[in-house]
Structure 1
Amino acid sequence: MTLVILVALWQALHAYAGDAAIASPLSAVRHLTSLAATAGFWTHVSATLTAFAAALTISAVLGVGLGLVLGLRRFAGEVAEPILAGLYSIPKVTLYPVILLTFGLGLGAKVAFGVIHGVIPVILFTLTAVKGINPVLIRTARAMRLNQVETTRTILAPAVLPEIVTGLRVGFSLTLLGVLVGEMFASQKGLGFLIVNGISLHNVQQTTAVILMLVIVALLANGGLLWLDRKLVHRT
């Protein structure tokens, strides 16, 4: 039902604004199908997936790791949390010159853009989850004389896993957004580049078709992560 409403709104917006502003749903699907039949399009898809996979891996590993460490060290966590929240409120586009000077044009800049968008939410979700854990579990680990690595692996990680999955779900979307922004500013390959190229050439069909593909992928991935999140919550 929601999908039908969204498509109807899209069609209504097209009827109001015209082909010069946005392609119709049917036209976007047809153009996406024609793009998918070309080898060049999949080269751009591959470039985006490569950068996104690297950025998401770094965001997940670094975010969960730092979140667990800061959550275990209460004072450090209380100091770091507002700092991280403040840093995340900075518009990431303002970091564009620094990223380019540091990583140059290409894969490194795209990955960096993805990481700076996605890693902080994962840290904050994990940190909040660890702070809210039952203190009895921590005292039990100390009574059993577990070291920090064993405590994290056997007690903390399973206890906060549902919250971590929620953080990864949010981080997934934001990391993808960051990679696309990086491709818009710092690359000549990728789906973000196709969007900017379509805008500069006033190729509305191309821009709308690529955005449609990204929306479909994001919805499917987030749906899968949301299902996993609910399964974990139900299990716990």
Structure 2
Amino acid sequence: MSVMQRSRQAPAESADIEAGARARSLRVPATAWIAAGRLAIVLVLLVAWQLASGRLVPAYLISSPTAVAHRLYDLFASGTAWADIWITTEELVLGYAIGVVGGIAVGVALGTSRIAAALIEPLLAALNSIPKIALAPLFLLWFGIGLSSKVAIAAMTVFFVMFYNVYMGMGTIPNGLVNTLQIMGASRRVMIRQLVLPQLTVPILAGLKAGVSFAMIGVVVGEFVAADKGLGYSVRNSTDLFDSPGVYAGIILLMLLVLIGIGLVTLLERRLLRWRR
């Protein structure tokens, strides 16, 4: 490379570096504005809630942010909140993991076999059409009122979310790529590892994110029907006692657990889909 070529290349590289730095500097304020906007919305809602409580709506119906904050403090100070959080988190994690693994496995299996799909998929659709809350008493009868029944309900709920995401995602795999790998002599295991799983990354991640909320629904349904501990039981017990601060405190803790789970899945998504950016 001549001296003149290097001299022309150097300003171009420095210009690219400066352009990248300007783009990053512009993104930071945008992120800060978004965070500030979210905080402002939350504060406005809390202020409106506080002002409406006891003025526009009876306090025993909607409680108030200050009353809920006091109840949360009491729950954590007494240790009750930590015990309920641990029980619900354990049920959530176990049910979520079982449902995810089962849904992915069955989705891939039916997606690679037309005969199996024709035999089993209609049965799964019929089972999925049954409201999960209607099956909760059966799970409690089969597994008891302990941990196992809540895990089973959550796993079943997550299973269908993951199964349909994966099963439908299998239909988006180009037949041309499948035929090319078959001609090259690729085994079934190689095709699944090199073609199927990369193609299913986005559907699987979408199912993982949605599955957190569905797993929590399953856990709460189980705790509502029959339980003596957990956040769902706490909300139900507070409802029976017309304790609206306790109800809202339990709902907030449930929401925080779901948000933490979705946040962890989002971190995984950013790591696995870094190539898309």
Change in Cα spacing, 1:51 to 1:39, as seen in structure 2 (3 Å) is same
Matched ranges for 1:1-236 at <5 A: 1-2=37-38, 3-4=41-42, 6-7=45-46, 10-11=49-50, 14=53, 15-77=55-117, 80-226=120-266, 228-229=268-269, 232-233=272-273, 235-236=275-276
Q: Retained in 1: the 8 A contact 2:238–2:244? A: yes
Which is further off, 107-116 or 223-232? Answer: 223-232
Q: Retained in 2: the 8 A contact 1:110–1:182? A: yes
The residue identity in structure 2 corresponding to 1:141 is L
The residue identity in structure 1 corresponding to 2:199 is A
Q: Retained in 2: the 8 A contact 1:64–1:123? A: yes
Q: Retained in 2: the 8 A contact 1:162–1:232? A: no
Which gives a bigger RCO, structure 1 or 2 (Cα 8 Å, sep 6+)?
A: 1
Change in Cα spacing, 1:201 to 1:154, as seen in structure 2 (3 Å) is same
Supply the distance in 2 between the matched residues of 1:132 and 1:231 (Cα, whole angstroms).
Answer: 23
Identical pairs, percent = 30
Supply the distance in 2 between the matched residues of 1:26 and 1:97 (Cα, whole angstroms).
Answer: 37
The residue identity in structure 2 corresponding to 1:60 is V
1:208 aligned counterpart, secondary structure: helix
The residue identity in structure 2 corresponding to 1:46 is W
- CA drift of 1:173 comes to 0.8
Which is further off, 17-26 or 55-64? Answer: 17-26
Q: Retained in 2: the 8 A contact 1:109–1:182? A: yes
Cα shift readout 1:30-52 (whole Å, capped 9, x = no counterpart): 32132122223212211111111
Supply the distance in 1 between the matched residues of 2:167 and 2:269 (Cα, whole angstroms).
Answer: 17
Count residues with an aligned counterpart: 236
Change in Cα spacing, 1:145 to 1:88, as seen in structure 2 (3 Å) is same
The residue identity in structure 2 corresponding to 1:71 is G
The residue identity in structure 1 corresponding to 2:214 is L
Cα shift readout 1:73-101 (whole Å, capped 9, x = no counterpart): 23433554454344323211211231122
Q: Retained in 2: the 8 A contact 1:74–1:131? A: no
Q: Retained in 2: the 8 A contact 1:166–1:226? A: no
Change in Cα spacing, 1:8 to 1:219, as seen in structure 2 (3 Å) is farther
Which is further off, 168-177 or 86-95? Answer: 86-95
2:229 aligned counterpart, secondary structure: coil
Supply the distance in 2 between the matched residues of 1:128 and 1:119 (Cα, whole angstroms).
Answer: 14
The residue identity in structure 2 corresponding to 1:98 is L
Supply the distance in 1 between the matched residues of 2:256 and 2:152 (Cα, whole angstroms).
Answer: 24
Which is further off, 59-68 or 226-235? Answer: 226-235
TM-score by length of 1: 0.88
Change in Cα spacing, 1:141 to 1:32, as seen in structure 2 (3 Å) is farther
Supply the distance in 1 between the matched residues of 2:50 and 2:257 (Cα, whole angstroms).
Answer: 21
User: What is the CA RMSD across the aligned residues, in angstroms?
Assistant: 2.4
1:98 aligned counterpart, secondary structure: helix
Q: Retained in 1: the 8 A contact 2:157–2:215? A: yes
1:16 aligned counterpart, secondary structure: coil
Supply the distance in 2 between the matched residues of 1:47 and 1:203 (Cα, whole angstroms).
Answer: 22
